[in-house]
Amino acid sequence: MARSVAAVYTLTGLSHYDGNPLIEALPPIHDDEVIGELLCCFPAFPSPDELALKPKLRAHCVNRINEIVVPMDLHLQFEASFSQLIRGGYTARNPFHRDAVAMLHATDDTQLRHSGFKSSASTLAIFGLSGMGKTTMLNSIVKTYPQVILHQRYTGKNFKRTQVVWLKIDCPHDGSPRGLCASFFAALDIALGADYTEKYMKPRASVSMLMQHVSQLCRSYNIGVLIIDELQNLNLLADADAKQRILNFFLTLSNDAGIPLIYSGTNSTFKLFSRVVRNARRALGIGDYYFDCFQIDDDEWSALVQTFLAYNWTGEAIELTPELYIKLYDLTQGNTDFLVKLMMLAQWYALSNEKKITPELYQKVYDHQMIILHRPIEALRSKDPLQIADFEDMMPAREQVAQMMTVARARHARRVGVALLQLQSLSNQSPDTGAAPAGRRLAAVADPSFVSDAQKVAESGDWEATAKEKGFTSFEDDIELW
């Protein structure tokens, strides 16, 4: 798909989409079969001419394995959500609606909030193990859309507008707000051939002013979706307030300016939301997608293995025996990136040493050329959450969600318990009980052997049942959960 195209308007047949040039100019909503063809990437298979070349030349062909994209069910599901995300975000930003025009011309946050505009934008979140193909999937999907659409006339009237359908930025390695703004300006400059980086990234420009420029440009160019990749880098930001300010800024873009968002990061991204679960709920929006390791009996894992084995430049066919299949899984633990590395390294070794690819050769390559990956792979192989926790990016997403919710529930149980104990203390105080006289404060002395009901609830394996047993659940409606 071309980066920049002239607008061609096509009715969708849906009343809430038709009549909006920003939606009508988008590509058709395709069926899954068409999407699968658009997303897949199968570079040229080894040809007889290539196989007749010297081994050193054939070794250069092995890099093609890196280009392979095999669409999975998750890809098709995400593309459907992506399609709805963009179009849904544009429904409230119809350039012929009064509130959308007021939002577009707002010069500050106050005008933005009082424009009368009501956002229809939502968010998507992609979490997953490092190397499982999140960025590859995103890049494949956005390429099915033109990045920039140039409008001139609509229904016989002048309509000069530049529409940036999608913009993908990487969270900077240090997670800094200033670096994030610079990444945004740089991405927009590439898309439009502009020079906003030079215009706005001045040494004395404050972060708040830079963020205001980001918001204005998102609205001015009708950005259909803003994709923030490598979001886990925010964890490197030591300033908790700055970290929260960035998350709040993203939410403001979605809620006040109507910009749909896609968050993408490794599983350590969950740390960003672990203290404020409300942010996690809002971040997930219309859906969250998890890229966890494949299981050995997954049909999609089998398809990946067979596809990669077909790209073989050693000259000798590789038979996929049960032994080989088990060996490949054992050495990669269902991680796509590890599988690609193992396949490529094994072919390079076989070509340079005139060896045949066997399970033993894969083991030898793993032992001597993948040493840096041994610890995380061994942790995955152990299935031990404590070992996997040493590699946050490797911990399965659903386990991190469960861990985050456990902490939040324990915190909630403590709050409920404290409230109950305070109410009981107040109700039990009377002149006969030796309560402290008004105006006099007595220092409490802690009894180390005493375990409060609240603590029992917080430490219980089934906190909800224990809370009910202790009579705490009746206070749930009176205590703010998060």
Of 382, 348, 380, the C-alpha closest to 365 is 348
Of 161, 191, 155, the C-alpha closest to 93 is 161
pLDDT at res. 13 = 93
Tens-place pLDDT, residues 337-375: 999 999 999 999 999 999 999 999 999 999 999 999 998
> Looking up tokens 């160019």, which residue turns up?
221
- Does 30 have pLDDT greater than 60? yes
- Does 432 have pLDDT greater than 70? no
Q: What is the mean pLDDT of residues 95-113?
A: 83
Of 469, 442, 438, 440, the C-alpha closest to 453 is 469
Q: Please list the residues that pair with 123 across neighbouring strands.
A: 261
Instruction: Report strand pairing: 4-6 vs 148-154.
Output: parallel
- Does 44 have pLDDT greater than 70? yes
**10-19, 146-155, 159-168, 372-381: range with lowest mean pLDDT:** 372-381
Of 264, 238, 271, the C-alpha closest to 250 is 264
Of 399, 337, 345, the C-alpha closest to 134 is 337
Q: What is the mean pLDDT of residues 106-117?
A: 79
pLDDT at res. 391 = 65
Of 396, 367, 379, the C-alpha closest to 294 is 396
**72-86, 211-225, 276-290: range with lowest mean pLDDT:** 276-290
Kindly indicate the confidence band of residue 320, based on its pLDDT and cuts at 50, 70 and 90: very high
Domains along the chain?
Answer: 4-30+72-291 (3.40.50.300)
Q: What is this structure's pTM? A: 0.76
Of 312, 251, 315, the C-alpha closest to 285 is 251
Kindly indicate the confidence band of residue 393, based on its pLDDT and cuts at 50, 70 and 90: low
Alpha-carbon torsion 201, 236, 241, 224, what sign? positive
- Does 119 have pLDDT greater than 90? no
CA distances from 371 to 99, 342, 367, 421 (A): 59, 12, 6, 55
pLDDT at res. 481 = 34
Kindly indicate the confidence band of residue 447, based on its pLDDT and cuts at 50, 70 and 90: very low
> Which of residues 447 and 307 earns the better pLDDT score?
307
**Secondary structure of the chain in HEC code, one letter for each residue:** CCCEEECCCCCCCCCCCCCCHHHHCCCCCCCHHHHHHHHCECCCCCCHHHHCCCHHHHHHHHHHHHHCECCCHHHHHHHHHHHHHHHHHHHCCCCCCHHHHHHHCCCCHHHHHCCCCCCCCCEEEEEECCCCCHHHHHHHHHCCCCCEEEEEEECCEEEEEEEECEEEEECCCCCCHHHHHHHHHHHHHHHHCCCHHHHHCCCCCCHHHHHHHHHHHHHHCCCCEEEEECHHHHHHCCCHHHHHHHHHHHHHHHHHCCCCEEEEEEHHHHHHCCCCHHHHHHHHCCEEEEECCCCCCCHHHHHHHHHHHHCCCCCCCCCCCHHHHHHHHHHHCCCHHHHHHHHHHHHHHHHHHCCCCCHHHHHHHHHHHCHHHHHHHHHHHHCCHHHHCCCHHHCCHHHHHHHHHHHHHHHHHHHHHHHHHHHHHHHHCCHHHCCCCCCCCCCCCCCCCCCCHHHHHHHCCCHHHHHHHCCCHHHHHHCCCC
**72-86, 111-125, 397-411, 453-467: range with lowest mean pLDDT:** 397-411
CA distances from 358 to 62, 128, 174 (A): 17, 31, 43
Q: What is the mean pLDDT of residues 29-38?
A: 92
Strands in 148-154's sheet, in edge-to-edge order, are: 4-6, 148-154, 157-164
pLDDT at res. 464 = 55
CA-CA distance, 395 to 387, in Å (whole number)?
9
- Does 410 have pLDDT greater than 50? yes
Question: In percent, how much of the chain has pLDDT > 90?
Answer: 50
pLDDT at res. 234 = 85
Q: What is the mean pLDDT of residues 162-190?
A: 92
- Does 144 have pLDDT greater than 80? yes
- Does 35 have pLDDT greater than 90? yes
pLDDT at res. 224 = 96
Kindly indicate the confidence band of residue 297, based on its pLDDT and cuts at 50, 70 and 90: very high
> Looking up tokens 């061994």, which residue turns up?
378
pLDDT at res. 282 = 53
Tens-place pLDDT, residues 205-244: 999 899 999 999 999 999 999 999 988 888 887 777 788 7
Count other C-beta atoms under 10 Å from residue 459's C-beta. 13
Of 229, 86, 56, 59, the C-alpha closest to 146 is 86
Residues in CB range of 8: below 8 A, 6 or more apart:
25
- Does 104 have pLDDT greater than 90? no
pLDDT at res. 153 = 95
Kindly indicate the confidence band of residue 298, based on its pLDDT and cuts at 50, 70 and 90: very high
Q: Amino acid letter at 447?
A: D
> Which of residues 442 and 395 earns the better pLDDT score?
395
Kindly indicate the confidence band of residue 478, based on its pLDDT and cuts at 50, 70 and 90: very low
pLDDT at res. 445 = 38
Mean residue pLDDT of the chain comes to 81
Tens-place pLDDT, residues 154-169: 999 999 999 999 999 9
CA distances from 166 to 16, 162, 390 (A): 21, 12, 35
**40-44, 137-141, 148-152, 291-295: range with lowest mean pLDDT:** 291-295
